[in-house]
Chain A
Amino acid sequence: MSTLEYNSEAVKQGIERLKLLGKYSDVLMQNYYGVELDEAQAGARLVNQLLQANILWRPDEASGLKLTGPVREMIVHLIADEQRRKVNAEVGEFLVNIRLLVGKINAAEQQGHYQNSTYLQSKLSQEVDDLNSRIATGINSLWNRLNIDFAFVSTVQEKIHENEKAHSEVVRWLDGLELIDFKELIAFAGSNGGLRHILVRQLQGQVSVHFSSLREVQKRLNELMARFRQQQARNLLVRGMLQFFQQKPNFQPSDYAQRSHVVDLLNQAASVQASVSIALDRHQDKHAMQQMLAQLPARLEPSVDLPHAAPALAWQEDQTILAKRRALHEDVVSFYLNVLDQQQSQSALGYLAEAQLSWDPEIWLYQVIAEYQGLASSDKLAFRLHYDEHAAGPFNTVLIIEDVQLQLLSEGVGA
């Protein structure tokens, strides 16, 4: 507290106004319970002081002075006025005033004081307008807070708190509106057309509009609250789980997929690619197909729908593998041609060394054998492949091919 500047304007003003509250506590408490302040008796100076200090206010020119909202709230809290807190101070007070005014109007009319009655009716009308505008302002302020998602506070926790506050405000208004008993008001109005118009037609219409607005606000508040709570839970979950994983780096959850019941979250079916081809046998589609073919770009782009970029890479590898395979095939064909040219049998490995080819000997042998087996049967007759093989070990009869000899049958080699 040592940092408080005792001489600052705000502090001075605060002390002054608190003193005012103390000095006139009598009058103010009476006003709280609905007794109007006698301005003539109190004096213009005091009235001005109380107005300036924001303790009293005048809802409109014709009406008397009333306690301002904050002061009324403070008193409610100080004396724990459960009744008022529950039933809403503003509507409660309004009803007290209405009853008072209706009584006065009826009395005035009975006595034939019609001028006075007209004056009192305009006062009643103002009272109704006053309540209306306060409810409308209240609802408006609620909407304002709702529309910006309570952005005036920064954390979700504070937003939840603000939402709760706004919600209790709505409930208070709703409870207050419930207090307005239209049967009672109809009875008040009796046969008086003017009163009937103000209290029944006007007020009832407005109250029902307020009711539906408040219900809408309530609905939106609930939705927003659900969202806030969800966000809060998410934030907490992400933070908490990261903390947990940090503390237990070797954590392994159980294998949920092996349980008798597998939740949908974990049951994700493997992907299937729905592929189609052109149905060449459908002649009625021929024309359409021709057109489509003509419109096809030179090369199909890898489908953008597929989530993985991997196929492009695989395709590239395929290309290089294909090229290698083709080179190998060509080298083996050269070997065959060489045997034909030379008109004599030759060892495959011997040729590999001689031609200084870089193929792995084993792959080379496989390819030579495969090429032989791939020959057309008429061509096969021209060659014979002799395997140089031996058993893998003394107790293993698997034969291992060391080398192959490509022999020309026309040469007449038998063994």
Chain B
Amino acid sequence: MMMQYSHLLEQLLAGGFICEVTDNQGFRYLQDEQQREAIDHYLRPLNRRLASNPEGTVWFLAWRELTQPLRDQLSQQFKETLDSLIPMLKLLQLTQETMGHENVLTANDILNRHDLAARIENNPSLREQLQALVQTRFFQSQSEDVSGQLKQVFDRLRSHGYLHQPHKDRHHYIVTGKIDYLIDLTRFIREEEHIYIEEDVAPSQEDLLA
């Protein structure tokens, strides 16, 4: 039984995030508690176990028991994630604005790189935002033009597991569940640090009529 899912295990061990977009079959497999237990049992000697974000939309491996060197490694890793956090949030905002989406990007959303490039190309404010984005350490691109910059951004997103490219030769990408992980992490920081966010609720119809 396990043999069939050796690919899933390899992905997990290689530090991959498993969601319904990246590995639908593997993700379904992980929905079964018994299978999860089997994997956990297997991972025990490696001091690893399965972990997920609070909603269970994305799975990855966590340390089973933490030692000081492992904690230090986690601290370091968290610092690196933090460095990518602001550029990532800005990217979410940029795509939302560019596509005229009502909501922030979420897992299963489809992005077409060419479409996105064309829209940014025609809007100086979006171009500026992209320019600022590629100057961050996380996305850094030397490219002068929008399509080159966007290519770099997409390559980075793909290599960090935020985007899944179903066909290598096509330009559409699917947002993976790792974005949920990033949002959850952001929420966690917000709650831990008691960061106040002002809720500017849009006026409802009644308010407008009143």
A residues adjacent to B (C-beta < 8 A):
154-158, 161, 231, 234-245, 251, 253-258, 262-274, 305-309
Contact = CB atoms under 8 A, between A and B. Distances in A.
A266 B186 contact: no
A268 B186 CA distance: 16
Contacts of A271: 13-15
Can you list the 6 inter-chain pairs with the closest CB atoms, starting with the nearest?
A240-B197, A271-B15, A257-B74, A264-B51, A267-B62, A157-B202
B167 to A, nearest CB: 13
Contacts of A240: 190, 195, 197-198
Contacts of B160: 307
B66 interface: yes
Contacts of B15: 268-271, 307
Given A235-B104, A271-B14, A274-B13, 13 more contacts: A156-B103, A238-B92, A238-B104, A241-B195, A242-B93, A251-B193, A253-B82, A257-B72, A265-B54, A268-B62, A269-B47, A269-B60, A305-B11
A244 B188 contact: no
Nearest to B103: A231
Contact of A241 (B46, B78, B190, B201): B190
Nearest to B203: A157
Contact of B197 (A154, A161, A241, A258): A241
B132 to A, nearest CB: 12
Contacts of B66: 262, 267
Contacts of B44: none
B106 A231 contact: yes
Contacts of A242: 86, 89-90, 93
Contact of B205 (A161, A244, A268): A161
Contacts of A256: 78, 192
Contacts of B63: 267, 269
Interface in B66-113: 66, 71-75, 77-78, 82, 86, 89-90, 92-93, 102-104, 106
B181 interface: yes
- Interface size class on chain B is 35 or more
Contacts of B47: 269
Contacts of B159: 307-309
B86 A270 contact: no
A269 B103 contact: no
A69 to B, nearest CB: 19
A251 B62 CA distance: 27
Interface in B171-203: 181, 183-190, 192-193, 195, 197-199, 201-202
Contacts of B184: 265
Contacts, number: 139
12 contacts: A156-B102, A158-B204, A231-B103, A234-B104, A237-B186, A240-B198, A242-B93, A267-B66, A273-B13, A274-B9, A274-B13, A307-B161
A266 B106 contact: no
Nearest to A273: B14
Contacts of A273: 13-14
Given A267-B66, A274-B9, A234 B52 contact: no
A258 B62 contact: no
Contacts of A305: 10-11, 14
Contacts of B199: 236
Nearest to A261: B66
Nearest to A255: B75
Nearest to A309: B159
Contacts of A155: 102, 202
B183 A266 contact: no
B183 A234 contact: yes
A110 B196 CA distance: 75
B61 interface: yes
A307 B176 CA distance: 14
Most chain A beta carbons < 10 A, residue from B54, B73, B195: B195
B13 A272 contact: yes
Nearest to B16: A307
B187 A237 contact: yes
Nearest to B17: A268
A143 to B, nearest CB: 22
Contacts of A157: 201-202, 204
B131 interface: no
B140 interface: no
Given A262-B66, A271-B13, A238 B71 contact: no
B103 to A, nearest CB: 5
A182 B189 CA distance: 56
Contacts of A241: 89, 186, 189-190, 195, 197
Nearest to B161: A307
Nearest to A156: B102
Interface string B150-180: 0000000001110000000000000000000
